[in-house]
Amino acid sequence: MDYPVRASRAALAAVLLLGLAPLATASGTSPFTASADQIMSRFTAQDGPGVSVVVSKDGKVIYRASRGMASIELHVPSVNDDVYRIGSITKTVTAATILLLSQQGKLSLDDHLSKFLPEFPHASDITLAELLSHTAGVSDNWNADPTLRLDTKTLVGLIAKQPLDFKPGSKWLYSNSGYVLLGAVIEKVTGHRWDEVERELVLAPFGMDHSGYYPDDVVVNQLVQGYSVNEQGTVARPPFVSISGPMTAGALSSTADDIRRLAIGLNTSNVFPPSLLKEMTTPTRLPEGSIVPYGYGVMLYTVRGEQAFEHNGGIEGFSSQYVYVPGEKVTVAVLANSDSGKPNTHAIALQLAALAIGKPYQHFVDVTLTKRDEDALLGTYEIQGDSKHVITSEGGQLYIQRSPGPKRPLTPASGDLLYYAGDGTDYFHVVRSPDGHVTALEFYPDGVAPSRLEKQVTPR
């Protein structure tokens, strides 16, 4: 992610140390707003899918903006109170609901699933805590007509037909199905629909008045049109998928301001008990001792070295991201009506969060490599053990892949740097021998030291 920062870093830091005081430029725009506007312009197109963002510090909104189109066909621009489907950010709400029910004594995280769904296969081996942390092994490999409206009983039956991916508690694998089962538990212990319970326990107390579950046939005020891309890379409408299927794993809709309220509410003691927040944000430890940076409905991350809590969401036609930096009390919420990665909600959120804490990501100046310089980068780079990065070139575009993950496009930048195209947070520095040959890459996660050395083991 690259964006031009026209104010000097020293000047920007001074503004942030003053609590983002509105020191105006000659045009009447604060340095923070000017830099945030540049980020937004960098990652959005005026005539493309839209995005709505909000940034707050110490509970006060310091930036709010919308770009692009709520409806490309009707030429309707995005506005700040637009409603978007938020996909897996729903999991944060679901996890908070389960934790609040545990506080009320209606369930315990140590309860086995068999207490609520006794006929579910292996239910006596699965705990609610394992469902929350994605360590239950519940498989997502079930099939159903995505256009059909599915109720809770049908969804549970479909999930039950698949064998577990692994012994509960032994591994970690992201599971939408596990969160659907948590929805069934919510309904079992309360006797009410999952969305009604989530509204009562989380949405309403947190002030999320523009959020909720909206069935396929409901007309929703300000709900924007979702977009995808076709095989030619052109903006297109996604295929219809019933919103009933994602249920408590991804079926809620919301606004950027409401997602801000969610993040702040979870971290406010008089709204959400600190003991429950600690449970949500404790990383998962696997039996062999490894740590997974995921708690209960919350991902654990860093922004320029600062601890952060976050979650993203992706569902047909939409993507979403929130980031909360507790040390600085900075919240960023970004919602987009595209599932194509453009706009890149994750990149926008990290860039704005870094700016708000006074540690902006570095500015990359793109360069064009000669064919010779491009070829010199191609090959395999050893990360650790059997893990490797492989750089290839297709049609003049560099790609990097760490199997079994996807290929990601790389953009060359001045200073012998490479960064993920459309991102600009993590980057690589190319290491060369005295005679100029490429010997390794230095990887800077989140754009900060220390770097990780990846030696080139098989040049092309």
Tally the domains of the chain.
2
pLDDT, position 25: 42
Query: Which CATH number covers residue 178?
Result: 3.40.710.10
Asked if residue 112 is part of any domain, the answer here is yes
Query: Are residues 102 and 227 part of one domain?
Result: yes
Q: Dump pLDDT digits (tens) for 36-62.
A: 999 999 999 999 999 999 999 999 999
Q: 330, 356, 382 — which closes off a domain?
A: 356
- The pLDDT of residue 52: 98
Q: In the prediction, which pLDDT does 458 show?
A: 82
Question: Average pLDDT of the chain?
Answer: 92
Does residue 295 carry a pLDDT above 70?
A: yes
Question: Both 282 and 305 in a single domain?
Answer: yes
**Are 337 and 415 in the same domain?**
no
Read off the pLDDT of residues 332-347 as tens digits, 9 standing for 90 and up: 999 999 999 999 999 9
Domain boundary among 329, 356, 383: 356
Look at 5-19, 74-88, 165-179, 283-297 and tell me which has the smallest mean pLDDT.
Answer: 5-19
Q: What is the pLDDT of residue 384?
A: 81
Question: pLDDT class for 193, splitting at 50, 70, 90?
Answer: very high
66 within domain boundaries: no
In-domain check, residue 67:
no
Q: What is the pLDDT of residues 372-396, one digit of tens each?
A: 999 999 999 999 878 999 999 998 8
Q: Are residues 200 and 328 in the same domain?
A: yes
Tell me whether residue 52 is in a domain. no
Q: Are residues 272 and 410 in the same domain?
A: no
Given a cut of 80, whether residue 431 has pLDDT beyond it is yes
Q: In the structure, what pLDDT confidence band is assigned to residue 17 with cuts at 50, 70 and 90?
A: very low
CATH number of the domain to which 450 belongs = 2.40.128.50
116 and 245 housed in the same domain: yes
**pTM, two decimal places:** 0.89
**Over the stretch 105-131, which tens digit does the pLDDT of each residue have?**
999 999 999 999 999 999 999 999 999
Confirm whether 433 is domain-assigned.
yes
pLDDT at 255 over 80: yes
> Which of 333, 356, 379 is the last residue before a domain boundary?
356
Indicate whether 309 pLDDT > 80.
yes
* pLDDT of 14 higher than 70: no
Q: What pLDDT, on the 0 to 100 scale, is given for residue 460? A: 64
Is 365 part of any domain?
no
pLDDT of 65: 98
Residue range 79-92: mean pLDDT, rounded = 98
Both 406 and 453 in a single domain?
Answer: yes
**pLDDT at residue 359 is higher than 90:** yes
Does residue 176 lie in a domain region?
A: yes
> Domain span at residue 279?
85-356
Within this chain, do residues 314 and 375 fall inside the same structural domain, yes or no?
no
Query: What does the pLDDT read at residue 28?
Result: 60
**Position 284 in a domain:** yes
Does residue 182 share a domain with residue 296?
yes
The 3-class secondary structure across the chain, one letter per residue, is CCCCCCCCHHHHHHHHHCCCCCCCCCCCCCHHHHHHHHHHHHHCCCCCECEEEEEEECCEEEEEEEECEEECCCCEECCCCCEEECHHHHHHHHHHHHHHHHHCCCCCCCCEHHHCCCCCCCHHHCEHHHHHCCCCCCCCCCCCCCCCCCCHHHHHHHHHCCCCCCCCCCCCCCCHHHHHHHHHHHHHHHCCCHHHHHHHHHHCCCCCCCCEECCCCCCCCCECCCEEECCCCCEECCCCCCCCCCHHHHCEEECHHHHHHHHHHHCCCCCCCHHHHHHHCCCEECCCCCEECECCCCEEEEECCEEEEEEEEEECCEEEEEEEECCCCEEEEEEECECCCCCCHHHHHHHHHHHHCCCCCCCCCECCCCHHHHHHHCEEEEEECCEEEEEEEECCEEEEECCCCCCEEEEEECCCEEEECCCCCCEEEEEECCCCCEEEEEEEHHHCCCCEEEEEEEEC
In this structure, the answer to whether residues 224 and 265 fall within a common structural domain is yes
132: Cβ contacts below 8 Å, ≥ 6 apart: 95, 98, 109, 178, 182, 296, 297
Same-domain check for residues 283 and 382: no
**Percent of the chain beyond pLDDT 90?**
88
Q: What number of CA atoms fall less than 13 Å from residue 326's CA on the CB side?
A: 15
Q: Are residues 233 and 376 in the same domain?
A: no
